[in-house]
Amino acid sequence: MTIFKDIVELLHNNDCVILPGFGAFVLKKKSASIIQNKFIPPSKNVSFNSMLKENDGLLVKYISGTRKTSYKKALNLVEKEVEAFNKKLTRDLLVEIESIGIFELKDENSLNFNPDLSINFDSSSFGLQSFLKDPLLKNIKTESKKEISFVSNYLLRNAAIFISVMGLSYLGYFNYTNYIDTEKLNNIAVAQNQILKKVQAATFDLGELPAISLNVSAPVINQSSIYFSVIAGSFRSKNNAQKQLNSLISLGYKASYTTINPKGLFRVAYARLKTRKEASSLISKIKGSGQDAWLLIEN
């Protein structure tokens, strides 16, 4: 199904590409943001709208031009590709499209789309990556502490020299009297040191202390717990799943893996919750921000 390669090429220059008879791939713009110390560049990620199926001519004209064929033949090619894709989706229930995302058929009337968030279609942000930066204020505070420490050491050093000079002058002027006073002070200091040594060497009998007994029991883990998981996407590649997981965690979600999909896919959840009410509330919040999510009940 090479038609999706044409769609990817068009998405780099168009915000909406309709696949006639199937649906529309629409780009959602997200402004640059700062989360704690992480700077995230602006991006455009793909979403899917199954209500837009009417042919607007963009994709068919592009195929007609690149493959040098008539408009009618290009339209027939698109219709055959859509028919083949629907059959594959009905047979496999899940189809992954490179650089776009994963379509998962839950039932006849429920088609879920999990976008590949690692692809940024915003040409103005080409080559930009998220990065971490330590706050400038922290560096300023560190430098200020060093400067204060340097000034303090300088003043203390000069003060010590000044006191030493004054002390020598004082001793020279009050020679005898100061000598007598100094001897008295030394005797007092010796006596105080002796008292301090005796106090430090003293022992205290507190008597026999009562024994303490603690009863510690390990928490009981309920192996039959039911989780109401809010699913962000399913991935065949564990690397892509890990990227999605890291992205959600950086946005503040308690993201985690769920049980592996029967098809062997890695499912990534915004959160795994204990009640359906909590899950419904989180899904409403996520969809309100323009993202997709669906509920998985794990036994």
Q: What is the pTM of this model?
A: 0.46
* CB distance 231 to 273 below 8 Å: no
Each of the 299 residues of the chain gets a pLDDT tens digit; together they read 689 999 999 999 999 999 999 999 999 988 887 876 676 788 898 999 989 999 999 999 999 999 999 999 999 999 999 999 989 988 988 899 998 999 998 776 788 899 988 888 887 765 666 666 666 555 545 555 566 566 556 666 776 676 665 655 555 554 555 555 566 556 655 555 564 555 444 444 445 545 544 443 333 334 457 889 999 998 989 999 999 999 999 999 999 999 877 788 899 999 999 999 999 999 999 998 888 899 888 87
Task: Look at residue 122 in the predicted model and tell me its pLDDT.
Answer: 85
- Exposure on the CB side of residue 128, measured as CA atoms within 13 A: 15
Contacts for 140-149 with beta carbons within 8 Å, 24 or more apart? none
The pLDDT tens digits of the residues spanning 272-295 come to: 999 999 999 999 999 988 888 998
Cα separation, 151 vs 157, whole angstroms: 10
- Cα-Cα-Cα-Cα torsion 196, 198, 199, 205, nearest 10 degrees, comes to 170
DSSP string for residues in 224-265: T--EEEEEEEEESSHHHHHHHHHHHHHTT---EE-SPPTTSP
Q: Is 120 helix (H, G, I), strand (E, B) or coil?
A: coil
AA identity, residue 145: K
Task: Name the residue among 120, 95, 124, 93 with its Cα closest to residue 106.
Answer: 93
Q: What angle do CA 104, 60, 19 make, to 5 degrees?
A: 20
Sequence-distant (≥ 6) Cβ neighbours of residue 256 within 8 angstroms:
245, 268, 269, 271, 272
All domains in the chain, ordered by first residue: 3-132 (no CATH), 227-298 (3.30.70.1070)
pLDDT for res 290: 86
How distant is the alpha carbon of residue 159 from its chain centre? 52
Q: Is the dihedral of CA 95, 101, 104, 110 positive or negative?
A: negative
| Res 212: pLDDT | 46
Closest C-alpha among 238, 299, 296, 290 to residue 270:
296
pLDDT of residue 228: 93
- At residue 252, φ and ψ (nearest 5 deg) are 100, 5
Q: Which residues pair with 28 in a beta bridge?
A: 45
Q: In b/e form, how buried is each residue of 18-37, taking b as 16+ CB within 10 angstroms? A: bbbebbbbbbeebeeeeeee
Find all residues with CB under 8 Å of 206, minimum gap 6, and list them.
none
Where b means 16+ CB within 10 Å and e means fewer, 142-156 reads: eeeeeeeeeeeeeee
Express each pLDDT in 23-32 by its tens digit. 999 999 888 8
What count of other Cβ atoms lies within 10 Å of the Cβ of residue 104?
Answer: 23
- Give residue 159's pLDDT: 65
Closest alpha carbon to 102 in 3, 193, 233 = 233
How is 3-69 classified by DSSP, letter by letter? HHHHHHHHHTT-SEEEETTTEEEEEEEE--EEETTEEE--EEEEEEETT--S--SHHHHHHHHHTT-
Q: Which helix (H) or strand (E) holds 90?
A: helix 71-92
What's the confidence (pLDDT) of residue 36? 67
Residue 247 pLDDT: 92
